[in-house]
Structure 1
Amino acid sequence: MKRRLEDARILMYSHDTFGLGHLRRCRTIAHALVEDYRGLNVLIISGATIAGAFDYRARVDFVKVPSVIKLRDGEYTSMASHIDLQETMKMRQSIIRHTAETFQPDIFIVDKEPMGLKGEVEETLQYLKARGTTLVLGMRDVMDAPYLLDAEWKRNNAFQKIDQFYDRVWVYGPPDFYDPLVGLDVPSGVRRKMEFVGFLQRSVSTLGTKSEHVPDEDYILVTTGGGGDGADLVSDVLGAFEQDDTLQHKTLIVLGPYMPAKERNHLIERANKIACLQVIEFDNKMEELIAGAKGVVAMGGYNTYCEILSFDKPALIIPRTRPREEQLIRAQRASELGLVDMLLPEESADPRQLAAALKRLPTRAPPSASGENMRLEGLVHISRIIGDWFDDRDHYPPLSVVAE
């Protein structure tokens, strides 16, 4: 059974300058909503260079804005080297505003960045608020270390603008896991708008063909997400295999589409010398690879963490610690709760220590054995909230129930 909405429209914004996390989170929410509501259309604005590499359900589409990438020092540059960053930002801002004017969404959901990359969605927020669109800011369970987030948000006057523009602030995690604004002086107006919806549960996609990369035998999966900063993790894993020849478990390594070519080629050359290793660059069916694995080694970004919980997989997290501490904080908290094992980057750089951790991984108890309630309720809660909003709008007729 599905409920029907008559020509309801949701616009989502995903700035996507480093990795795939924002787009994958938006896509997950969009797919869940069109699954629950007939007549609903979702459009995602994305800066991801490979936004078109993913499958999308009917009534979910994307608009690609020119790509901007974040460098390791935290600065930004245009993906097209012949176009000035300022010109690229003007194009992005114009496309975002024009898309909103043309699409006329009922709800606008912005992922993580309150005013978008370098403030590019503020003008669109002003326009949509004036026409009565419901404006939602979505936050990860962990944004960053409080001292880093506080400094960034003070520079951008973020709290005042959140209070000014947004109707709701969704936190994509449960309140007892982590508060993304802990340690900050949060205005009462912003606190009142915050709602902890829970982690976003993942499932194996039924869209398109199955992944061609799932090994026929039991395997450990090593994933770096987008891969832009994942070379050290993969290098450490290869070092463990090179150091300890008793480490022979089949291992599938996904480098990520954004790993620099020089690093990628060097790692592939090393991996080719070890028989039990299989290396691929990218798979748009990561849920399938995680679901089939005996254990997962990852940096612990938001999406991978949700997948580890959703498929209840033993996991070893080796978090990135710079320029953001988001992955470190999430890994430390999950490790405290007994949901995952964790090594710091300096620990994983020791081949013997990492080899021992890799040997333990396939027989480690899954997250569910910790006794913690993993709260994979985010998609259900978001769907209910969206339905209630449309029910309450005077210009919308009551939702009807239709059989599929």
Structure 2
Amino acid sequence: MPRVLLYSHDTYGLGHIRRTRAIANALVAAYSDLSVLIISGSPLAGAFNLAPGIDFVHVPGVEKGEGGGYASANLRMELNQVTALREALIRQTAESFQPDVFIADKEPGGFRGELLPTLKVLKAMGTHRVIGIRDVLDDPEAIRSEWAETGALRALTEFYDDILVYGPEDFYRPLDSIPMPAELRSRIVYTGYLRRSVPHGPPSIRYPKSAKGPYILVTTGGGADGYGLIDWVLSAYEAVPNIPLPAVIAFGPFLSTTQRRAFLERIDKLPNVDAVNFDNKLERAMSRASAVVGMGGYNTFCEILSFDKPALIVPRSRPRLEQTIRAQRAEELGLVRFLPDPLEMGGKPDPAIMASALSALCRQSPPSAATIPGLLDGLPRIARHLAPTLVSSVRIREPAISGA
């Protein structure tokens, strides 16, 4: 039976594991005899529904500090020791699982190069190796410099057979600034965005009464960097009580307890604002919402397009310009409205500006008003692209031999 191994380094937030999960679910739906194994460092890898045929291996987590540096998330070990442990676990998993296809998310060499030994093993094994890139990475010059410095560029050219860009070519070309052989560049496939759907089964949490009628869903994804947006939205409802639609704020799992407590104290005083804790089936709330306010991370953007919701995007520009580039381009194409965060430019958020933007969502057109061919074709196109390998994957697998 064919096998696919997916790697998601997950050093920050929920974006990587949620994108990897969406791809895994789509692949087992397309190929009934497929086994998919996900390698992830996310502490919430097991919090999301996985279809039959999918399992995951959790490697020790690492976390990014406020200064941009990394450290062990849980183990009382030095970062280089944790990285070495992760590297060994990833390699051993690949040797035992013997995948027909390997898909890495975003980082060609993995976190601090931890994938390189595994990539050598997979190349010798004859595994088809794919790097999956989101629609926007960062400022082109910044990503070219970073990849050259970290060795990601060398790993990309030496070890990968194909490059999948999870977005439409007409939206953005994230690898134009990356030097690579012409033969490899010819293997870039723009898939379109990854369509999302409402998960099966009952809701994972109870939503407030305000969610039974029209409402604005406010989401900051994982929530670790969402304080500014939530604070600005609350200040708008505090200053302008007659905003037409109530708000339901979805706290991400990484929002600090202190910030969550302070927000709840303010929300208790507002009759038209409610909040919910982490919801691993947030697609359900978004499908029922009248409009969405978010920061413009990749997964939130896919959900906005999938459920065709008028949206206001307030992106962060640090430590990467990813969200800002995506929001600006999406507004140019008529998909969303882009509202710069004054804090990102050294200013102070104006509650009246946010209140006006929230009120305007009632009149804003949904993304479907802008016709973009292949906008949400990502998942079926990934499945079709891998078909030649997965359908003809009958090959002899040697049992793994363990050392004494």
TM range (shorter): over 0.9
TM-score when normalising by structure 2: 0.93
> 2:384 is paired with a residue of what secondary structure?
helix
Which string of whole-angstrom CA distances, capped at 9 and with x for unpartnered residues, describes residues 67-87 of structure 1? 111123321111126222122
- In 1, distance between residues paired with 2:333 and 2:214? 27
Match of 2:402 in 1: none
Taking the TM superposition and a 5 Å limit, the aligned residue runs for 1:239-388 are: 239-247=235-243, 249-346=245-342, 349-373=349-373, 375-388=375-388
Q: Determine helix, strand or coil for the equivalent of 2:274.
A: strand
Alignment of 1:22-33 (within 5 A): 22-33=16-27
Matched, 1:236 2:232: yes
- State the Cα distance separating 1:57 from its structure 2 match: 0.9
* Equivalent runs, 1:208-227 vs 2, <5 Å: 209=203, 211-213=205-207, 215-227=211-223
Deviations 1:246-275 (A, max 9, x none): 225221101200112222222222222112
Which deviations, in whole Å up to 9, do the C-alpha atoms of 1:312-335 show, x marking residues without a partner?
Answer: 100000001000000000000000
**Paired AA for residue 196 in structure 1:** Y
**2:160: which partner in 1?**
166
Q: What is the alpha-carbon root mean square deviation over aligned residues?
A: 1.7
1:187 corresponds, among 181, 186, 191, to 181
Q: Which runs of 5+ in 2 are unaligned?
A: 397-404
1:98 aligns with 2:92: yes
**Deviating more after overlay: 78-87 vs 282-291:** 78-87
- What's the CA shift for 1:388? 2.2
Counterpart mapping for 1:198-213 below 5 A: 198-207=192-201, 209=203, 211-213=205-207
Which of 152, 167, 170 is matched with 2:146 structurally?
152
Note if contact 1:55-1:208 (Cα within 8 Å) is conserved in structure 2: no
1:13 maps to: 7
Structure 1 window deviating more from structure 2 (116-125 vs 348-357): it is 348-357
Structure 1 counterpart of 2:172: 178
| Cα distance in 2 for residues equivalent to 1:188 and 1:141 | 20
Amino acid paired to 1:363: R
Deviations 1:197-256 (A, max 9, x none): 111111111145565327212110000001110111101111111111222522110120
Equivalent position of 1:399 in the other structure: none
Asked if 2 retains the 8 angstrom alpha-carbon contact of 1:159 and 1:187, the reply is no
Three-state SS of the structure 2 residue aligned to 1:38 is coil
- Unaligned 5+ runs, structure 1: 1-6, 397-404
Q: Deviations over 1:324-357 (max 9, x none)?
A: 0000000000000111001001188211101000
Q: Whole-Å Cα distance in 1 between the matches of residues 78 and 154 of structure 2?
A: 30
The alignment of Structure 1 onto Structure 2 pairs a total of residues equal to 390
Distance (whole Å) between structure 1 residues aligned to residue 241 and residue 154 of structure 2: 57
TM-score, length of structure 1 as denominator length = 0.93
Structure 1 residue 20, shift from structure 2 partner: 0.5
Once residues 168 and 81 of structure 1 are traced to their aligned partners in structure 2, the CA distance between those partners, rounded to angstroms, is 35
